[in-house]
């Protein structure tokens, strides 16, 4: 009989396929529809399009990993499969984290209008060279993630011909020398930069609201709904960021309960991110609702 932990992984895998794949496909198709009609996307839409593609790929890889854990754990003893899945998950998650930062940086520089040279530079490159920036980011993340494949592969090959003590010392030193800079560049750096953008944006909005409330000139108050939505989007994406990192850390422990909880959280993260993107984009919601309305109207007419 299947254990409750493996059952939770299976349920979350089905939910992930049923929620993340359609929702992120709608994000991708919706932005492609905007390109077809307008010819170009805004910086936020470009990042949402990239996130939709990344989440689709990440959901497929995580589901593959979950199915192997539930039904055929022996396949992980094939080192090519094990290393490929883990390297793919690392690349996609690192890139997704950096997409969160670039979205946070765009919101921050757009809302706060800070006059410091660094923020002016960030605003200029995000506005004018975002597509190139995302490509270079993907290339940099790949350079950071790819060595992990060879290090783990060499370690598992080397282990068959040397004694275990020597392998453990050499293998640990290699893994430590790789994973510390990889985690720093792929997780810690984008998280700290995104958190900085969140703090700057929220402090600017709080000061702005305080000034408006204490303004006695009688002028009309500006609509801050778009700014609040941007701030809420950054906060929720960082929250998903944190939960995903914690869930990945829990997989280190050889415990079936922790493994089930961690993988279940990861399997649901692309679906939650899609929900955050939909609440942040009125255009995507309108496109999806219009498509469903047209489809339902055709069905009623036939």
What is the pLDDT at residue 177? 66
CATH of domain 4-287: 1.20.1070.10
What is the pLDDT at residue 161? 43
Write the DSSP assignment of the chain as a string of letters.
---HHHHHHHHHHHHHHHHHHHHHHHHHHHHHHHHHHHSS--HHHHHHHHHHHHHHHHHHHHHHHHHHHHH-GGGGGSHHHHHHHHHHHHHHHHHHHHHHHHHHHHHHHHHH---SHHHHHHHHHHHHSHHHHHHHHHHHHHHHHHHHHHHHHHHHHHTTTS-HHHHHHHHHHHHHHHHHHHHIIIIIHHHHHHHHHHHHHHHHHHHHHHHHHT--S-PPPPP-HHHHHHHHHHHHHHHHHHHHHHHHHHTTS--HHHHHHHHHHHHHHHHHHHHHHHHH-HHHHHHHHHHHHHHHHHHHH-
pLDDT band at residue 275, thresholds of 50, 70 and 90?
very high
In this prediction, residues 260-275 reach a mean pLDDT of 87
pLDDT band at residue 287, thresholds of 50, 70 and 90?
confident
């Amino acid at each position: 009989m299947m254990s409750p932990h493996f059952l939770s992984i299976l349920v979350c895998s089905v939910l992930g396929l049923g929620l993340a794949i359609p929702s992120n496909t709608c994000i991708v198709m919706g932005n492609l529809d905007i390109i077809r009609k307008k010819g170009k996307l805004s910086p936020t839409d470009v990042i949402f399009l990239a996130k939709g593609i990344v989440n689709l790929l990440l959901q497929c890889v995580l589901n593959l990993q979950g199915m192997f854990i539930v039904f055929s754990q022996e396949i992980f003893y094939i080192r090519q499969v094990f290393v490929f899945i883990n390297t793919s998950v690392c690349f996609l998650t690192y890139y997704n984290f950096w997409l969160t930062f670039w979205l946070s940086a765009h919101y921050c520089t757009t809302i706060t209008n800070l006059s410091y040279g660094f923020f002016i530079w960030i605003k200029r490159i995000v506005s004018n060279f975002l597509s190139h920036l995302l490509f270079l980011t993907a290339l940099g993340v790949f350079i950071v993630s790819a060595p992990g494949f060879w290090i783990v592969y060499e370690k598992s090959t080397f282990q068959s011909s040397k004694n275990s003590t020597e392998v453990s010392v050499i293998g640990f030193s290699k893994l430590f020398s790789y994973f510390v800079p990889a985690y720093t560049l792929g997780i810690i750096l984008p998280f700290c930069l995104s958190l900085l953008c969140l703090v700057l944006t929220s402090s600017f909005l709080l000061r702005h609201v305080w000034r408006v409330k204490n303004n006695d000139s009688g002028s009309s108050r500006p609509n801050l709904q778009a700014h609040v939505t941007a701030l809420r989007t950054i906060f929720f994406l960082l929250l998903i960021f944190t939960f995903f990192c914690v869930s990945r850390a829990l997989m280190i422990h050889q415990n079936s309960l922790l493994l089930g909880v961690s993988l279940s959280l990861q399997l649901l993260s692309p679906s939650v991110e899609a929900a955050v993107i939909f609440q942040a984009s009125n255009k995507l919601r309108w496109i999806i609702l219009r498509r469903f309305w047209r489809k339902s109207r055709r069905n009623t007419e036939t």
